[in-house]
Structure 1
Amino acid sequence: MNPLRSPQDIPSEGDDPRTVAYDPNDPFWHDSDGDDDDMDYEPATGGSEDEGDSADLSFHDAAENLSGVEIEVEITEEDEDEEDDLEDGDDSEDGADEAPRPGRPIYISREQIMQLLGHTGLRELFASGGLIGTRRRARMLNDDDDNEGGTGYDPVGPRTRRRRGGGRAAFQKVPSDEGKELMNTGTFGSNDRPNDTLKRKKRLAYNVMQRELGLGSDGRQKNMNKVMRQGMIPESMADTIIHYNSRCYSGQFSDDGNFFFSCAQDFKVRMYDTSNPYDWKFYKSVVYPYGQWTITDASLSPDNRFLAYSSIRSMVCLAPTDPNDGSEPNLLDFANISNHNPRTFHTYFGIWSIRFSGDGREIVAGTGDSSVYVYDIERQESILRIPGHEDDVNAVCFGDSQSPHILYSGSDDTTLKVWDRRSMGDGREAGVFLGHTEGLTYVDSKGDGRYVLSNGKDQTAKLWDLRKMHSKEKADRVDINAYTTRFEYRSNAYDDSQYQPHPHDCSLVTFRGHKVLRTLIRCHFSPPGSTDSRYVYSGSYDGKVYVWNLDATLAGKIDVLKATKNSRPRDPNLLAETYDFYGRNGASWMTCVRDASWHPNAPIVAATSWNGWGTSQGTCTVHTWNDGLEEDEGEPKIGRRVNALLQHDERLYRPAAASRRHWYDDEVDDD
């Protein structure tokens, strides 16, 4: 085994991972252009602090840097006829037999150029079969350059024709009739029942009084308890703000709520004892010693004894959670595939998502080579590879905790596929969910073998029912590339007017409002213990956690941006511009909630975020339900700021002008 790479070889926070020097003899190196889905970040800027939250989340106005540039488009009469035909829905070239007359130049303003750059118009402009395909010529001219030759553009991407009936008018109905029907079944929580004829808002105290008075039958009392639990949606005010010196990518509670882990871009996974969910204690941290770009995912074994975590490598680290066990993590090579599977595969690939099976014997992984892998821990080899997608597999999970046979996989090819390992002799999927028009970022199973939730770059989360999936035969007749624009979510804002509903959508409910931008943002089902399975929730690029009822109505929002804004001083030594452009007064405070986890037994949500000045650092914020109160007389005080070890740090409370020391130099070693 090669020695561990030195710190100089690990990409720094400002490096583009595709340009970092590497050793070609390093067996752990894998540099694939198709595997950088969560690696390349186009800078986005926020406004000044005085412009409010919305300004902090705005994208960079590149028009400020344009000067002396104009676009001249020469259109012949024949081209005009073609455009008229396309607008009328007719592809025929009525003027094809006529000799084209000399065209006239049309000059486009700088503002119009930026409109093209702001959404899919630029892609459509240079797409094959687009304006170039209709014999239009686009040239970028400099004021001082009289050469009309210009620089050519290679047409790329599929031809996408805008269909009628799109935009916001095509959004699914809210509240959703299908979702309301599900809410009435009791599968997703209980419904409130009127106990008297008084028309008033029943707060928690009223419901507690009714319970203590013993009004109603035993069934009514149980229903009252469930209704009280599900009404305790955590508040935006954060009890604790845990600050990291690098971006935080994910964090989850264990199934029993006694354990929490967070994954950061410094290749560390921190573990916390949350047996008392209101008083966390630092447990231990483990390191991915030669990771690429970041830790992409982690999964805890069902018995809480082992933690598996991955990077953009084919290796998964398996570390014990025992704080007294300081041994190095075991390396699970997912490229070591069983000889019983003769299918060819790539030797190296990045791993985007991993999950333990319910019995703790296997780990399933979604990878950058468009495949799903199943790894047997005891045999120390991959026993199954499913090359079942056309693009990166960003998310995987098991259908339920009792059986390892049913797998779900979500991909950038816009599909969510179902795999039954008991009938995969020919490698065929059991079924396909169609409905997302852009790539999927996350998949979560309710654990009952029936319902599954997904997040997509089309800015929607969708609920699916296993009984309504498309068969492989039906899905194969659908050209999935005909219903996507390949939206570049890492650098652009999504334009709702470009939305087109998928004609083969088989989802039950569609949830909207959050922003799935810049990174693979995650969504989840709420737990049965603390919420009665009443909600689904998701992180968002705008710095909030969105909580929905099953009928797609918004049940609540947890504003992490508001809770954390300016919670650490601006450090001039931190290179925030490596992620986001400076504003006029420097980088703005920005927040992107990438993941959130609802405690299984208490009304607590822990949100892991890219956070800070220019989102160059990270936080894990702990939000509890406090019945709308802004202050708490208990200890510790609401809004306390701590470092990764949960230690009080005075530097977090200093004004910006007083902070002149380098955070990385002063950070306490938590190994």
Structure 2
Amino acid sequence: MRDTPPGLNGRSATSPPDDNNAGDVLIETGWMDETDADDRDFLPAESGEDDDLMDEDYDDGDFHDAEESLSNATIDFEVLAGDDDGEDESDEHGAQPIRISREQIMQLLGHAGLRRIFADHTSGRRAQVDDDEDSETDNTGYGGLCARRKRKGRKAFEKPPSAEGRKLIASGTFGANERPLDSYTRKKKLAYRLIHRELGLGCSGRQRLRNNIISQSLIPSSKADTIIHYDARCYSGQFSNDGNFFFSCAQDFKVRMYDTSNPYKWKYYKTVDYPFGQWTITDASLSPDNKFLAYSSIRNVVCLAPTDPSDNSDPHLLDFSSSGFRDRRGFHAHRYFGIWSLRFSGDGREIVAGTGDRSVYVYDIEQRKSILRIPGHDDDVNAVCYGDPNSPHILYSGSDDTTIKVWDRRSMGDGKCAGVFLGHTEGITYVDSKGDGRYVLSNGKDQTAKLWDLRNMMSAHDAHNIDINAYTTGFEYRTSSYDETEYRPHPHDRSLVTFRGHSILKTLIRCHFSPPGSTDSRYVYSGSYDGSVHIWNMDATLAGKVDVLNATRNSRPRNADLLAETYDFIGRNGGQWQTCVRDASWHPNAPVIAATSWNGWGTSLGTCTVHTWNDGVEEDEGEPAMGQRVNAELKHDPVLYGSTERRPASLFRRSRRRMADDDDL
């Protein structure tokens, strides 16, 4: 509550009266004894009214509107004429009255909250609380609407389709939209579109539009073409920008590289190691020319390895702590920290990294040192990326402090960020840029992915005045499940669209924009702890789902020697097959998704599964057969078909036949 009500121009309750204002409105003040309290005139609430106010959405932790508590109170005013001698009257307790001019009382009545109070009283009715649970507004009794009590849990979720997302789809920024061509209004299948494309009907613009619509409708299916098995959890994997290269990072500190110039027939390339990693390889990034791969662990050193299969030299070690600069407090940068995320710049000269010392580093490869350190967060920086591949100036960083910050390297003399995105109520696990310098996508431990517009970010000054710790529970995603009933929306959320349905548990699961080539930038997608890749339209409706769990279930025999230490202990979940899709990558030119996962008995091992568009068909006549199981070097391994689980006889015969064919080769 403010000490001085608005409209009193700073005059306190003890200010002397103005004797020149005859006929001022008098408000008598003084301490109330028990008799005074009983004499105060209140309008009693009608029977059952309090029960309506205390609905199921309200508890002790919810916002309480003081206006509602005062809306049945009566405030008496007494107009007094000034005495001839200019002296004021006193009440029986000796309290001095306060005079307020007519102009000041009109200003007071002009305040929104008091205006509603007096309007409710003079009209002889109170504001009625809307009983409709889906309503977001309440009737105030003053001819207007006010905000409803804050909701929590699933009732606070924005229901798809998102209105902002529909606008984005209609704008053409994210994918092509159908144009009416004939009176055929039913759902148009692929064959119909192909016929019109072959006939070449319409202008070149319409034909180009038709091709875009065809490509964006080819969402890969759940059935896996190939299952690549690793003897360690797989943490990440991405296609190169041109689609000719793919790499995967595993917990055995190895990065495998593959030739994917033919996305339907991969070839093994080479494997590089992190010589002294800690826990796992956390991230990797490919240079724009595909010649070098940078990869990190929970250390301050990044390995830079050539991708040429004929080059077996050791990787170069890039020490991000060797900078020579001092931070704002005058101390040298921390000597030891872990790197959680890293990205090459568009020109391949720099690498940006998010670290465990709450900072963002920019490393110059030619100078072999860090040229910039930004200690700009209050917790670990889990994700970083460049805003535009054509410019190294704009950086995005996402942290466990729940914020996403935008950094402009051209204007960082004061060390402040260019803007902040607030809206997640738990830590950020990943940040991805559309590459146009405008749209940003993030994944959060509050089980949401959010789309942001750079033009709608909050200024650093405004964000500094907000206590970000007041809107988070510090959810520990590694050891417990998320309780949706305790969710409360962030009051300063500036995101455009919120995507739900996936699970972000145990590890830093990643999300991405779909590529412009193969999907016309139509979708966003994310891995999930439930073993699926979730694909959304821009209006937050689900466009498809790639079920990696069912595609890989029992695809290798149980081996006690390979059951490494895991979050899911053997006595609890180690006896069943589990899948957590940590990362996924959509091929830039073909309808192919590669999902890298923790997979196996108790998620102790890993897979990289290749999923293609197959028009919903579970089997095909192509070679090799769908669902083939190979090792990390893409070699057919008969041991992988020796699962102890019962399988259909036809599948068993097919496996035996394929094994015999391999022996003949």
* Structure 2 SS opposite 1:656: coil
Of 317, 327, 332 in structure 1, the residue corresponding to residue 318 of structure 2 is 332
1:385 and 2:357 correspond: no
Of 162, 175, 180 in structure 1, the residue corresponding to residue 161 of structure 2 is 175
Of 426, 429, 432 in structure 2, the residue corresponding to residue 444 of structure 1 is 432
* Structure 1 SS opposite 2:197: helix
The equivalences for 1:565-604 within 5 A come to 565-575=553-563, 578-582=566-570, 587-604=575-592
1:423 and 2:431 correspond: no
Say how many residue pairs are matched: 505
Q: Does the 8 Å CA contact 1:444/1:523 hold for their aligned counterparts?
A: yes
Q: Does the 8 Å CA contact 1:576/1:587 hold for their aligned counterparts?
A: no
Structure 2 residue aligned with 1:553: 541
Q: Which of 1 and 2 has higher RCO (CA within 8 Å, sep 6+)?
A: 1
Structure 1 residue aligned with 2:152: 166
| 1:586 to partner: Cα distance | 5.3
Structure 1 residue aligned with 2:199: 213
Structure 1 residue aligned with 2:639: 651
The equivalences for 1:202-241 within 5 A come to 202-241=188-227
Q: Does the 8 Å CA contact 2:325/2:333 hold for their aligned counterparts?
A: no
- The TM-score with structure 1 as length reference comes to 0.73
- The TM-score with structure 2 as length reference comes to 0.74
Structure 2 residue aligned with 1:111: none
Q: Does the 8 Å CA contact 1:261/1:269 hold for their aligned counterparts?
A: yes
Structure 1 residue aligned with 2:480: 492
Q: Does the 8 Å CA contact 2:358/2:381 hold for their aligned counterparts?
A: yes
Structure 1 residue aligned with 2:77: none
Structure 1 residue aligned with 2:243: 257
Q: Distance in 2 between matches of 1:655 and 1:437?
A: 43
Q: Does the 8 Å CA contact 2:566/2:603 hold for their aligned counterparts?
A: no
> Could you report, residue by residue, the CA deviation over 1:145-195 in whole angstroms, capped at 9, with x for unpaired residues?
xxxxxxxxxxxxxxxxxx941111111231011111011111111012232
* Structure 2 SS opposite 1:352: strand
Structure 1 residues 578, 450: CA separation in 2 closer, same or farther (over 3 Å shift)? closer
1:501 and 2:489 correspond: yes
Counterpart code for 1:225: N
> Could you report, residue by residue, the CA deviation over 1:196-249 in whole angstroms, capped at 9, with x for unpaired residues?
212322111110011112222222211110000000000000000000000000
Q: Does the 8 Å CA contact 1:251/1:597 hold for their aligned counterparts?
A: yes
Note the residue ranges of structure 1 that are not aligned, 5 or more in a row.
Answer: 1-83, 92-162, 659-671
1:531 and 2:519 correspond: yes
The equivalences for 1:249-648 within 5 A come to 249-339=235-325, 344-575=332-563, 578-582=566-570, 587-648=575-636
RMSD: 1.9
Q: Does the 8 Å CA contact 1:338/1:384 hold for their aligned counterparts?
A: no
1:193 and 2:146 correspond: no
* Structure 1 SS opposite 2:424: coil
> Moved runs in structure 1, 4+ residues, more than 4 A?
84-91, 340-343, 583-586
Q: Distance in 1 between matches of 2:336 and 2:530?
A: 35
* Structure 2 SS opposite 1:347: coil
* Structure 1 SS opposite 2:385: strand
Q: Distance in 2 between matches of 1:584 and 1:482?
A: 35
> Could you report, residue by residue, the CA deviation over 1:391-441 in whole angstroms, capped at 9, with x for unpaired residues?
000000000100000000000000000000000111110000000000000
* Structure 1 SS opposite 2:285: strand
Q: Does the 8 Å CA contact 1:373/1:386 hold for their aligned counterparts?
A: yes
* Structure 1 SS opposite 2:392: coil
> Could you report, residue by residue, the CA deviation over 1:40-84 in whole angstroms, capped at 9, with x for unpaired residues?
xxxxxxxxxxxxxxxxxxxxxxxxxxxxxxxxxxxxxxxxxxxx9
Structure 1 residues 474, 319: CA separation in 2 closer, same or farther (over 3 Å shift)? same
Structure 1 residue aligned with 2:228: 242
* Structure 2 SS opposite 1:405: strand
Counterpart code for 1:312: I
> Could you report, residue by residue, the CA deviation over 1:258-290 in whole angstroms, capped at 9, with x for unpaired residues?
000000000000000001111100000000010
Counterpart code for 2:176: S
Note the residue ranges of structure 2 that are not aligned, 5 or more in a row.
Answer: 1-57, 66-148, 647-665
Q: Distance in 2 between matches of 1:367 and 1:171?
A: 32
Q: Distance in 1 between matches of 2:224 and 2:211?
A: 26
Higher Cα Rg, which structure? 2
| 1:580 to partner: Cα distance | 1.3
* Structure 2 SS opposite 1:570: coil
* Structure 1 SS opposite 2:388: coil
Q: Distance in 1 between matches of 2:155 and 2:335?
A: 47
